[in-house]
């Protein structure tokens, strides 16, 4: 049993009581709502004639179905189903006094991009959302959990979820990242080491020098993919990087109140002598960029390695999964992923749709052109990210290179809008899941990688080592973790 960790402290602060079924009733301090998983929950509430218990702790935006082409955002949306979902969200939020960031607000975007940049996500909170990537918010030192629709109903009606406390695994990520290697590579490395179900029953506490060196946007990318490693939540203890990022943001208190809040944030950090259920070390020193070769995020290699033989895997089921992956991806064991043909380049998502991600990709694209055979989409994670990128002139870099510069949304990560793969297209993607069918075509093929690698793949028309494009970079940008974007 863990003791004295941030997870223990935040859990205890939010524990209301133990329920008769043995679970804990946990108060949720920040509830994020989007259009896809919430309408049924609001419906259940109406059936029971219940009201939203904590509307001031609840914030909504639209992301999954949001069209990313400017002209397609006019209302009513051309897609009747999308329009119905969006209208339902508008009605449900306005009827219940919930703040909604719509297209016109300038703050619309992916929940997990919007809440951090507005300062809604803070250390020591419990955060829930009907989306598995809610772990993202753990980057601030909070407990963020993805929940199903019935649990959304619970949070709307009671402000709480019924939850089992998990074990805590401390993951020390040691070493220093080289140039052109990013937070995305760290989390892919962790999943490579621990597996896609390694985190089941655990929350991950990420620490160590490689994590501490990351800026907030890098930390968000790491925590975001906790769920791909099977961990429902992942977090990083707050520090000065966290506080610097938060100060001055819209929903963060100012002056004395900020200092008071900071005392709370400091108080929930894991103790020096905290006890963990498990401690593992991941060596990230000098790792190469990672890319997936298969159909789950654990089927991943460093760019310098080759696609493994199914027989390399000990477990029969892993061998079968590898066979299936080789067949779907149409690749051979022993092959390098370098040179794997790419049809689509997709940059964005709650993993890598922040300003520093576009900045890193732009470094590659500056003065280069997207290959004629490649359809390239740059989709900012939020309208604020878009505005900030445009203020820095990054949109010009993307457009000049041949990328489509889009409006904010989840887009081709899961293709619930018009942005989808066709047939067996291969997508170099900065997203988080390479599951079969994920990007909208059952034969589509996804190769997960960092934003810089996506940009390089777009230019070459095939998977390539983005570091080849960074050789001429001036000194000083070699930290490998994008400059702070705030």
395: which strand partners? none
Residue 333 is a binding residue for another protein (CB under 8 A): no
Least distance (Å) between residue 485 CB and another protein: 24
DSSP string, 441-472: -TT-EEEE--HHHHHHHHHHTB---GGGGTTT
The count of other CB atoms within 10 Å of the CB of residue 312 is 11
Residue 84 is a binding residue for another protein (CB under 8 A): yes
Q: Please report, as residue ranges, which positions from 151 to 180 form the binding site for another protein (by CB under 8 A).
A: 151, 153-154, 157-162, 164
Using CB under 8 A, which of 281, 304, 330, 435 touches another protein? Answer: 435
DSSP string, 34-101: -TTTSHHHHHHHHHTT---S-GGGEEEE--TT---SGGGGSSSPSSHHHHHHHHHHHHHHHHTT-EEE
Residue 81 is a binding residue for another protein (CB under 8 A): yes
CA distance 347 to 326: 25
Residue 96 is a binding residue for another protein (CB under 8 A): no
Using CB under 8 A, which of 9, 33, 34, 37 touches another protein? Answer: 37
Tokens of 231: 């961990």
Centroid of chain to Cα 325: 24
Q: Which range in 74-82, 172-180, 271-279, 350-358 contacts another protein by CB under 8 A?
A: 74-82
Residue 146 is a binding residue for another protein (CB under 8 A): yes
Q: Please report, as residue ranges, which positions from 235 to 274 form the binding site for another protein (by CB under 8 A).
A: 260-261, 264
Q: Please report, as residue ranges, which positions from 278 to 297 form the binding site for another protein (by CB under 8 A).
A: 296
The count of other CB atoms within 10 Å of the CB of residue 30 is 22
Residue 91 is a binding residue for another protein (CB under 8 A): no
Q: Is 413 annotated as a binding residue?
A: yes
Of 406 and 438, nearer to another protein (C-beta) is: 438
Tokens of 372: 């004629």
For another protein (CB under 8 A), the number of binding residues is 81
Q: Is 410 annotated as a binding residue?
A: yes
Using CB under 8 A, which of 4, 25, 212, 277 touches another protein? Answer: 25
Tokens of 389: 């990128």
CA distance 196 to 414: 19
Residue 212 is a binding residue for another protein (CB under 8 A): no
Using CB under 8 A, which of 66, 113, 115, 147 touches another protein? Answer: 147
Residue 436 is a binding residue for another protein (CB under 8 A): yes
CA distance 365 to 139: 29
What angle, 0 to 180 degrees and rounded to 10, lies between the N-to-C axes of helices 394-401 and 383-391? 90
Using CB under 8 A, which of 102, 119, 333, 437 touches another protein? Answer: 437
Of 214 and 225, nearer to another protein (C-beta) is: 225
Q: Which range in 68-76, 81-89, 99-107, 354-362 contacts another protein by CB under 8 A?
A: 81-89
CB-CB contact of 218 with 356 (8 Å): yes
Of 414 and 459, nearer to another protein (C-beta) is: 414
Of 14 and 375, nearer to another protein (C-beta) is: 14
- Peptide bond connecting 76 to the previous residue in cis, omega within 30 degrees of 0: yes
CA distance 317 to 20: 38
Q: Which range in 145-153, 175-183, 326-334, 366-374 contacts another protein by CB under 8 A?
A: 145-153
Residue 330 is a binding residue for another protein (CB under 8 A): no
- Strands of the sheet containing 202-207, edge to edge, are 233-236, 202-207, 167-174, 278-283
Residue 382 is a binding residue for another protein (CB under 8 A): no
Of 26 and 177, nearer to another protein (C-beta) is: 26
Residue 39 is a binding residue for another protein (CB under 8 A): yes
What angle, 0 to 180 degrees and rounded to 10, lies between the N-to-C axes of helices 216-224 and 355-365? 100
Binding residues for [4Fe-4S] cluster: 350, 410, 413
């Amino acid at each position: 049993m863990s003791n004295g960790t941030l997870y223990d402290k935040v859990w205890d602060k939010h524990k209301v009581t133990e329920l008769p079924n043995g679970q804990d009733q946990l108060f949720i301090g920040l509830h994020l709502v989007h259009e896809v998983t919430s309408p049924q929950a609001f419906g259940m509430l109406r059936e029971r004639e219940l009201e939203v218990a904590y509307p001031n702790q609840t914030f909504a935006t639209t992301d999954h179905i949001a069209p990313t082409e400017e002209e397609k955002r006019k209302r009513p949306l051309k897609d009747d189903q999308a329009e119905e979902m969006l209208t339902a969200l508008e009605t449900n939020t306005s009827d219940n006094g919930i703040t909604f960031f719509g297209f016109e607000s300038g703050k619309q975007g992916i929940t997990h991009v919007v809440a951090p940049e507005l300062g809604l996500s803070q250390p020591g909170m419990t955060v829930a959302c009907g989306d598995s990537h809610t772990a993202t918010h753990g980057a601030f030192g909070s407990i963020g959990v993805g929940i199903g629709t019935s649990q959304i109903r619970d949070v709307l009606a009671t402000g709480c979820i019924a939850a089992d406390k998990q074990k805590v695994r401390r993951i020390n990520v040691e070493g220093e990242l080289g140039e052109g290697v990013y937070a995305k590579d760290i989390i892919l490395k962790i999943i490579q080491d621990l597996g896609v179900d390694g985190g089941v029953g655990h929350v991950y506490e990420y620490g160590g020098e490689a994590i501490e060196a990351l800026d907030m946007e890098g930390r968000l990318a790491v925590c975001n993919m906790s769920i791909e490693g099977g961990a429902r939540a992942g977090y990083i203890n707050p520090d000065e990087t966290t506080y610097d990022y938060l100060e001055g943001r819209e929903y963060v208190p100012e002056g004395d109140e900020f200092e008071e809040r900071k005392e709370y944030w400091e108080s929930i950090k894991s103790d020096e002598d905290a006890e963990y259920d498990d401690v593992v070390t991941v060596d990230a020193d000098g790792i190469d960029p990672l890319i997936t070769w298969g159909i789950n995020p654990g089927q991943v290699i460093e760019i310098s390695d080759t696609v493994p033989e199914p027989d390399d895997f000990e477990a029969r089921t892993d061998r079968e999964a590898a066979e299936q992956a080789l067949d779907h991806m149409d690749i051979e064991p022993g092959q390098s992923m370098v040179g794997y043909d790419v049809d689509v380049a997709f940059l964005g998502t709650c993993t890598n749709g922040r300003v520093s991600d576009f900045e890193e990709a732009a470094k590659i694209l500056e003065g280069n052109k997207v290959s004629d055979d490649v359809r390239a989409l740059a989709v900012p994670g939020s309208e604020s990210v878009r505005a900030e990128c445009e203020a820095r002139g990054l949109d010009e870099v993307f457009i000049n290179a041949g990328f489509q510069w889009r409006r904010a949304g989840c887009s081709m990560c899961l293709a619930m809008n018009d942005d989808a793969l066709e047939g067996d297209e291969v997508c170099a993607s900065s997203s988080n899941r390479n599951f079969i069918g994920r990007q909208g075509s059952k034969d589509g093929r996804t190769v997960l990688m960092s934003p810089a690698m996506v940009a390089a793949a777009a230019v070459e028309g095939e998977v390539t080592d983005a570091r080849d494009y960074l050789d001429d970079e001036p000194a000083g940008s070699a930290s490998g973790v994008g400059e702070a974007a705030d």
